[in-house]
Structures are given as C-alpha cells and as structure tokens.
Chains A and B, each alone.
Chain A
Amino acid sequence: MGESEASKSYPWKDIRGDYVLVPVPPWERRTLMNIFLVYTGVLSCLAVLWGGGALGMQGNLHEVLLATIIGDIVLSIIGGLCAYIGGTAHQSTYGIMRHIYGWYGSWVFGVLLSGIPAWGWFVVETWLFGVMIHDLAPHNPLCSIPWAALWGGLLMTTTAYVGYAGLAFLSYVVVPAFFVIVTAGFLSGIYFGGGFAKLWTFHPAHPVPLSALITQVVGLYICGAIITPDIARFSRKAHHGSTAWVVQIMVLMTYYMVASAMLTMAMGGAYFSKAMLLAGLGLGAYFAAIFGQWTTNDNNLYSSALSWDLFIPIKKRHLILILGIIASVYAWYTGLTAGASLKPFISFLMWLGTWLPPIGGVMIADFYVYQAYKGVPRHKRYEMFIGKEFALVNWVAWLSMFIGGACAQGWIFPKSILATVPASIVGFIIAFIVYVILSIGLDKAGVSLYIGKAKINEYGLPVKVKKEG
C-alpha cells in the first residue's frame, strides 16, 4: 500500500506532534538499522564509560567481565520484552501505560518513570557536560562550568526539538565515530597506565561482591530498558526494536563497560579525558564529550516530554523547548553558584529510580501473561481504534507496582536480601508476580480490575463514558 493510500486509512489526528497520543503510522516507521543507531546513540555517552570505570575500581578483570555480561543479559531481557511491546503497539511507553494502568495511571506513572527522572538526568548530564568542557579548556570564558552547561543544554535541546528524526540524524552521524575515538581513548589510557600486563594482575583496594557489581550494571540502564517503546514504536516489525536493543546491549554496552574498567584499572581512575589528552587526542576528547553527551541527553529530554505531553495540552515541540530551557538554566545556575551541588538532586533521582523497575514489571506481566490468559492475539494487544474504551484506573496494576517498589526499598523483605539480589530486580520480579497472581485470580473470581471508563477520540484524547441509568 502506498503512502497516500495508507494515509487515507489512518484515522488519527496527531495534534501534539511526533505521535505522542496516537500510534505511529506505517509511513513513518523506520528500518532496523535506524532503531539500532538511535538506541546506540543513547548508549554512547560518558556516563556508561564512568559506569564501567566505577566497576574497575571495585573488582578484578574477571569479576568485571562476569558482572557486565550477567547484568547485560538482565537488561537485554527486560528491554527486549518492553521494546517488543512498543513494536507491536507502535505507541510510546506512556501511551502503552493507558492500556495497563488506566488513563490516570499513564499520567502518574509516565511522570514517575520519565517525566521527572529523564528531565532530572538531563539537568545532571548538562551540568556534567559543563564540568567536562571546563576540564578540557579551563581558560576559555565560554568553557566555564555554568556557561558551557548553558550552551551545551541548549544544543542538546535542538535535536530533541526536531523530534525522532533529529535524534536519528545525530545518531547516524556520531555513533561510529564515537566508537572509534573511544577505542583510541581506551588504548591510550591502558598504555599510559602501565600496559595490558597490569590488567591481568589487578586487584581493587576495596573489592565488592559480584552481586553488587551486577546491581550497578543493571541500575545504570534499567530505566532505559523500560522505556524502550519510546524508540521501538517507530520500528516496522514488532521484533526489530528487541533485536536492536539486545545487540547493542550485549555487544556495545559490554564493550564500553569492560574497556573503561580496563582503562580505570590501568590509570587508577576513570581518567578518560586525561588519557585522550596525553595521547594528543584533544579533538577526540572534545568530540566524545560534546557528541557523546548530546546523543544521550537529547533522548532524555525527548522521553521526558513524551510523558508530560500525554496530559499537558501543548505541542510537544513547545514543551521540549520549555523543559530544555528550564533544565539548561538550572544547570547554569548550579555551575554558577559557588558551593552548589547536585548531590541531593542526584540522591533523589536515585531513590526515585528504585520505584521504576516495578512499573516495567507490571507492563510485561500484563502484555505477556494477562493478555495471553484473556486470549488476545499478540498483534492485537494494546491495539488502538477510535472509540476504544480505557479504564481510568487499573487498581491492581497500581497496587502491584507499589508492592514491588516497597520490596525494592526493603520495607517488606529483610534488607539482607537486597544485599545479594539487586533492588531493581527484586522490585521488578515482585511487581510481575503480584500482578499475575492478582489479575488472573481476581478475573476468575469475577472482580473487576478497572475503575471508571473513558473512550479515545481521533486525537488520542479521553472522552469520559457516562454511566448508564
């Protein structure tokens, strides 16, 4: 079917832009390589290198490799399952939440999952960008921490403003170059740190258990794994998003984490920029700092705006501009004010992060287990059509999510369990199990999971259904 014929059969009106409220139409869907590159663009950032560097201070090479592979397997499974949902429904994570948590649930949990955290991490990464640029050019007034944070944040806002096409374009241009330059950085760091021989005999000064290393790997990207539908919704086939996600996690993330751990073991710290400067790779250091942060941070802003725009009635582009400017100014202010620290903010974001995996656990439980129990064919799950009824609240989904989050906090299980099993995994699994048991059990008992009703109109907006009688 040609585009013009397909567009005639596409009943939706995309009033917010970038298909925030409605399914992505067939003619806007992208190739597998496009999806892969956008995911990889998110991964290609200095945060993953620092994450690997942190592992390198806490374990020997064998432990780091094992922890990274195990952690990446967990991330592959969770992200792959979520991406498949996005590739089937062709809706964003928050649009999908309408089917699971109800209309109100999609607003609340969308903001919890992405609206606040993704925006918050945009602020943090923008500020860190300012710090890095200042390290590279400390005497240039435009490269002072506050001013670099400001122009960096505004730069990162531009591609998010363009939308998915902007994210994709930047990823196409940057990802292979980033891979080459970062590899050069690793090699120079290992050399200046003492060579490969030093790595085989390295023992950390303060080793941590393998489970703690795995926790860090999973924690680094668990939220990214859950919001994979934001990108996978643009895939042409349901499994493309999952395939792209799994390949980039198992190949690239493993490589980046292990290589940066090796650099840290050699140099005694995650001195990535220093290694590049010693090698005369100043331009490479700038490239990695600017584009590495840019390709990741624009996705943060994009996902944040997607969740807010579900219920804030302004065009997505305008919302991105507003959120991006506020975040850039906040990062500028933090850099400007002597003594200001983002540590409390980061602590808040990390605390919030323990509540997020349960959201994904319920999502996977509903799509793969409950919908299958109800006999809904996979390609029809979360199908959208004008007039479809949604619940306002799925109270079982809300309850399962909170129980999972409470377990991740150590409020229900003893905290000793969390010392051996990562909190994010505990929360995810408990939410999954509780939802499966409650949803199927209550359905068999004739108890409704849902409260209230609303129909969806051609704009993707809810119209309340009046009670009969």
Chain B
Amino acid sequence: MSGEENVKSLIKVPVISLAISIILGIVITIVGVTVFGNWVYSEIMYLLVGLMLIIFSIIGIARLYKAETKVKAGEVCITHGWWVFSTGIGGIIVYAAPFFTRGLFVAGASAAVASGLSIIFGLIVVLYARSRLGVSLAV
C-alpha cells in the first residue's frame, strides 16, 4: 500500500467525526434561523457557533484529504479537533444561560446538546491523532 493510500485509510475516523460536527453545526444554525426575529441576541449566538463549527470542520476535512503524510494529517486533526472541542464548550456554556434561551427552551436545549456532542467529537479527533497518528496534543 502506498504512503498516500495508507494516510487515506488512517483519516477515516477524523473525517467522519468532523462530518458529524458539520451536521451539528447545521443543526445549531437551523435553530438560529428558526428563532429569527424572536430574540436577536440568541440568534447571533446560534449563528456564530453554528458557522464556526461548520467552517472549522469543512476546512479540516479538506485539509485532511490534502495531507500526504501521517504527521501532516495528525497536525490537521489536532488543530481542527481542538477548534471544534473549544467551540462546543463555548456553545454549551452560552446556551445554558437563561438570557439566550428566553422563551425558547427547546431551541436552547437543542443547541446545547449539539454543542455537547461537538465537544465529544472534537475530542475523538484529537485523541485519535494522538494515539494513531502519533502527534502531540499541541502542534
């Protein structure tokens, strides 16, 4: 198996995790769109976190497919895994606040769950890179 084929097989787990993060970002963005016009302050936060998750994950997947070596793939995983993890932490803290779920409890809860799941998937990407791709936790 050539080096490049080997890398392609190694990145399946992080690609899937980041793809799920894209879906979670879309969920949060949809929540933001559905509350449009109700409460602008929470709209902004839903759109911000949703778009951050979508953008970080899409760029991460694109860079993973371009990576030619295991180390490079590992570096991409660490960078984007932590970005997704950290964005999820920010999201879950914000959506737990009453100010941002005013009268829209279901929307807030959905966004909080999506943020919590993105924390998990971000961590999966990071830990996978550490254990299977052999890179350190901060590249």
Whether chains A and B associate is: yes
Interface residues of A (CB under 8 A from B): 30-31, 33-34, 165, 168-169, 171-181, 183-184, 187-188, 191, 278-281, 283-284, 287
Q: B98 on the interface (CB 8 Å rule)?
A: yes
Give, as a whole number of angstroms, the nearest-CB distance from B54 to chain A.
13
Residues of A within 8 A of B41 (CB): 187-188, 191
Give, as a whole number of angstroms, the nearest-CB distance from B98 to chain A.
4
Residues of B within 8 A of A178 (CB): 90
Contact A172 B78 (CB under 8 A): yes
- Nearest 3 CB-CB pairs, A to B? A180-B90, A279-B99, A177-B90
Q: B21 on the interface (CB 8 Å rule)?
A: no
Closest A residue to B98 using CB positions: A280
Contact A187 B45 (CB under 8 A): yes
Contact B98 A279 (CB under 8 A): yes
Bound-complex Cα distance A30 to B135 (A): 12
Give, as a whole number of angstroms, the nearest-CB distance from B25 to chain A.
13
Known A175-B86, A181-B94: A279·B100 in contact at CB below 8 Å? yes
Q: B97 on the interface (CB 8 Å rule)?
A: yes
Residues of A within 8 A of B79 (CB): 31, 33-34, 172
Known A181-B90, A187-B45: A173·B85 in contact at CB below 8 Å? yes
Interface residues of B (CB under 8 A from A): 41, 44-45, 48-49, 52, 75, 78-79, 82-83, 85-87, 89-91, 93-94, 96-100, 136-139
Give, as a whole number of angstroms, the nearest-CB distance from A400 to chain B.
38
Q: Which of B75, B87, B96, B100 is in CB contact (< 8 Å) with A31?
A: B75
Give, as a whole number of angstroms, the nearest-CB distance from A174 to chain B.
7
Bound-complex Cα distance A183 to B46 (A): 12
Bound-complex Cα distance A404 to B78 (A): 44
Give, as a whole number of angstroms, the nearest-CB distance from B87 to chain A.
5
**Total inter-chain residue pairs, C-beta < 8 Å:** 87
Give, as a whole number of angstroms, the nearest-CB distance from B109 to chain A.
15
Bound-complex Cα distance A284 to B100 (A): 13
New A-B pairs, 14, CB < 8 Å, besides A181-B94, A191-B99 = A31-B79, A33-B79, A34-B79, A171-B138, A172-B137, A180-B48, A180-B49, A180-B90, A181-B93, A184-B94, A187-B41, A187-B44, A188-B99, A280-B99
Closest A residue to B119 using CB positions: A177
Give, as a whole number of angstroms, the nearest-CB distance from B48 to chain A.
6
Closest A residue to B95 using CB positions: A184
Bound-complex Cα distance A278 to B137 (A): 36
Bound-complex Cα distance A233 to B97 (A): 41
Bound-complex Cα distance A173 to B90 (A): 11
Closest B residue to A284 using CB positions: B93
Contact A168 B90 (CB under 8 A): no
Q: Which of B82, B90, B93, B136 is in CB contact (< 8 Å) with A179?
A: B90
Q: List 5 A-B contacts (CB under 8 A).
A: A169-B137, A172-B83, A177-B93, A188-B97, A287-B93
Bound-complex Cα distance A434 to B44 (A): 51
Residues of A within 8 A of B48 (CB): 180, 183
Closest B residue to A179 using CB positions: B90
Give, as a whole number of angstroms, the nearest-CB distance from B121 to chain A.
15
Bound-complex Cα distance A16 to B99 (A): 50
Residues of B within 8 A of A283 (CB): 93, 96
Residues of B within 8 A of A172 (CB): 78-79, 82-83, 86, 137-138
Give, as a whole number of angstroms, the nearest-CB distance from A308 to chain B.
25
Contact A180 B52 (CB under 8 A): yes
Contact B97 A173 (CB under 8 A): no
Contact B137 A184 (CB under 8 A): no
Residues of A within 8 A of B87 (CB): 176-177, 180
Bound-complex Cα distance A165 to B94 (A): 29
Residues of B within 8 A of A177 (CB): 86-87, 89-90, 93
Q: Which of A34, A168, A173, A187 is in CB contact (< 8 Å) with B86?
A: A173
Residues of A within 8 A of B138 (CB): 34, 165, 168-169, 171-172
Closest B residue to A182 using CB positions: B90
Contact A176 B83 (CB under 8 A): yes
Residues of A within 8 A of B96 (CB): 280, 283
Residues of B within 8 A of A191 (CB): 41, 99
Give, as a whole number of angstroms, the nearest-CB distance from A278 to chain B.
8
Give, as a whole number of angstroms, the nearest-CB distance from B50 to chain A.
11
Bound-complex Cα distance A280 to B91 (A): 14
